[in-house]
Amino acid sequence: MIHITIPNFNLEKIAQSGQCFRWEPMGDGAYRIPAFGRVLEITQVAEDQVEARCSPVVWRQVWHAYFDLDTDYGLIHGLIPKEDNYLAQAAVHSQGIRILRQPLWETMASFIISQNNNIPRIKGILGRLCQGLPSFPDPEAIAAMGLHALRGMGLGYRAPYLLETARILEETKDIFRLPLLSYGEARKRLMAYPGIGCKVADCVCLYALGHKEAFPMDTWMKRIISEHYGGKIDSTPYAGAEGVMQQYMFYYARTGKT
């Protein structure tokens, strides 16, 4: 068990921020977090303080990057223009959220499944997909499940998207290439996969590849921009951190009071 103090770190907010779908709440601020073939048990014990059930070495080698601990979120908050009231409020409300750096394939699969879907149902599908498995099924395992089984898990019309993407990923070995690409290159390459358009590609770029300039444009963001920014948002003041601001606005719109 290790005790760690981290500025801008709130497990519950991250859990509800819509970027991860397989965290298991254990009560009293504790979560079981599966990633990279491991499971981390971690508890929020105070503001910006957690206790994690792992060794310091594993924390440093695995979870440090997962929780994006090299990024100074205080610095990012400072980029918000004073006159941008909505974003300023969203950032205050969302303080503690970090952009996770999650496994690439799981993120691709999760956001293919997320399209035109709601979060409780996404979690249900992913839970069934991992049922009885020690970790998230790799592309080969998904391909082996076949269309019928995937449909049986509730993927609907997304089943062939996931199946084809799994097959192509196996062939291309893109799992090793995508992390080496720039944001623009990675986005373009991702969009060549069936079931991955600009929004899902941006989610993968942001939540798996660490490209914080990615700004996933979903129905919530479109509504926010329409209602609070006159239909067009200027993100140049916080260039390079667009994805973080997007996350704040998304979380605020979903959980904040009106």
CB of 234 to DNA, least distance (A): 18
CB of 252 to DNA, least distance (A): 12
- For DNA, which residue of 93, 187, 199, 211 counts as binding (CB under 7 A)? 199
CB of 52 to DNA, least distance (A): 23
Question: How distant is the alpha carbon of residue 195 from its chain centre?
Answer: 17
Site for DNA in 102-121 (CB under 7 A): 111, 114-121
Per rule CB under 7 A, is residue 67 in the interface with DNA? no
CA dist., res. 69 & res. 10, Å (int): 13
Which one of the spans 2-10, 131-139, 170-178, 196-204 is the region binding DNA (CB under 7 A)?
A: 196-204
Per rule CB under 7 A, is residue 18 in the interface with DNA? yes
C-alpha separations of 218 from 99, 155, 258 in Å? 17, 19, 19
Which one of the spans 67-75, 168-176, 217-225, 228-236 is the region binding DNA (CB under 7 A)?
A: 217-225
Which one of the spans 67-75, 82-90, 211-219, 230-238 is the region binding DNA (CB under 7 A)?
A: 211-219
The edge-to-edge listing of strands for the beta sheet with 24-27 is 2-5, 49-52, 38-46, 30-35, 24-27
CA dist., res. 14 & res. 182, Å (int): 26
Q: Which two tokens stand for residue 81?
A: 């223009």
In the annotation, is 199 catalytic? yes
Q: Write phi, then psi, for 218 (nearest 5 degrees).
A: -105, -175
Q: Which two tokens stand for residue 80?
A: 């918000």
Per rule CB under 7 A, is residue 258 in the interface with DNA? no
Per rule CB under 7 A, is residue 218 in the interface with DNA? yes
Residues marked as catalytic: 199
